[in-house]
Structure 1
């Protein structure tokens, strides 16, 4: 089965789950077909899917992951090598990498989640929550739903939950909800962001993970100032690494603005 055929078949599976989707036309363009599939995955509520769907979806997502290129810790230098004058104490265990976090083949990547912890339901939204769930597959939302059902309430700010990575190169995803900033950052929000990093690290350590990649928690849709967020992130991680078995922490950035902020902190 070609990739185009896989995408088309998966679209039909998802359309058959909801009668309201019957009127959605099937795009002719291959790119638009893939976009429709992602959209249908994004809006799908948690629930059982057939073994046939999951098998085909997993094949497609793993092929796409291989094509994007999987990046491991061995491919990313530590800041001790890139910024030898850095005052970071654990510069031999911290890295800075700019790129798509769904390419990282590490023990865990961190997802900046919302309080529902079910992923982003906005079709093809540009947030990291959407990107991670789209690359992992519908199983990730299903596992998150199980966690939330058992918990019985929304996820508090600053806590962390761990799931499998499914079709991501990363073995696990650690989900954390950062603070939402209004007109100005409060001291409480600074502590909440610090808690996000600390609790992700503690959970990684408890789960015997050796490598973890952080996104820029709360700096996107949640409007935490980028520079202050990076300062809190670096300070918190560097302090924690002095007393942990975690071997590598990667600060993953996507925007040039964040890349430059972290570089200045390391130089």
Structure 2
């Protein structure tokens, strides 16, 4: 595809999002540079409320996003080494991997969502919710919107929902809502149970759909402020207990995904 065609296609996407968002000036200036246009497209998709978009929009969007995904250095969960190589041990199904979760080829990746379950509306925000929705496509927001409309209320902490992953390399996204801890306060017993429930609910949902692999982000440890070390211990304990109590699980690999060196060291220490 020529540079002209790429610019023409992304202009179409930008213009449709502008025209369907009454909070945006229809005379918004569109950059000339493709990379700047791409940033604007992501920002517009982030801020777009659930709305019917054209088939042509999705056709072009999917072509762009799938090409971007295919150009990434994707990692198969099968290539990630488990903590133990002894098949008789629980940890033979548990792995630790540092990297961008949107690069991971797994049956499911876990998204740390908020109670609205519609993704992050802050343009170009670097939270995992924004990253997953941006790489997946606008269909993900629409699927979540449909689920929430049918449910009729916001998602409770500790629950989980599953959707297709669309243009991500994974098959599914499992969305779960962790507890948000006020700054300067330690988690209380209820919030600890809610975080445990996040992991439990995701594992149960994965088994319901007969999935073989799942990758967990560090739920609630970003802007939701759950202490990283405590959250890591809760996550590991909950996963190990699930595997002990569900020996017929379909799950063959459960991955703890970290992004920073600090988080990786915390998990490495707690997995010993």
Task: Please classify the TM superposition score into its range, dividing by the shorter chain length.
Answer: over 0.9
Residue 17 in structure 1 maps to residue 25 in structure 2? no
* Structure 2 CA distance for aligned equivalents of residues 179 and 147 of structure 1: 21
Residue 76 in structure 1 maps to residue 115 in structure 2? no
1:242-265 superposed Cα distances (whole Å, 9 cap, x missing partner) = 312211101011111100101112
1:56-79 superposed Cα distances (whole Å, 9 cap, x missing partner) = 000100100111122111221111
Provide the residue aligned with 1:253 in structure 2. 258
1:80-133 superposed Cα distances (whole Å, 9 cap, x missing partner) = 25xx9xxx9422111111111111111110000000000001101111000000
Query: For structure 1, which segment, 142-151 or 40-49, has the greater mean C-alpha deviation from structure 2 after superposition?
Result: 40-49
Equivalent pair of 2:236/2:271 in contact (CA under 8 Å):
no
Provide structure 2 residue ranges, at least 5 long, that are not aligned to the other structure: none
Provide the residue aligned with 2:34 in structure 1. 30
Provide the residue aligned with 2:65 in structure 1. 61
Provide the residue aligned with 1:46 in structure 2. 50
**Counterparts of residues 158-197 of structure 1 (less than 5 Å):** 158-182=158-182, 183-197=185-199
* Structure 1 CA distance for aligned equivalents of residues 35 and 129 of structure 2: 21
TM-score (norm 2): 0.92
The number of aligned residues is 262
Provide the residue aligned with 1:156 in structure 2. 156
Equivalent pair of 1:6/1:60 in contact (CA under 8 Å):
no
Equivalent pair of 1:76/1:97 in contact (CA under 8 Å):
yes
* Structure 2 CA distance for aligned equivalents of residues 110 and 5 of structure 1: 34
> Secondary structure, in 3 states, of the residue corresponding to 1:68?
coil
Q: CA RMSD in A?
A: 1.5
* Structure 1 CA distance for aligned equivalents of residues 235 and 7 of structure 2: 42
Residue 239 in structure 1 maps to residue 244 in structure 2? no
Provide the residue aligned with 1:106 in structure 2. 106
1:107-160 superposed Cα distances (whole Å, 9 cap, x missing partner) = 110000000000001101111000000011000000000000000000000001
Provide structure 1 residue ranges, at least 5 long, that are not aligned to the other structure: none
TM-score (norm 1): 0.94
Equivalent pair of 1:89/1:238 in contact (CA under 8 Å):
no
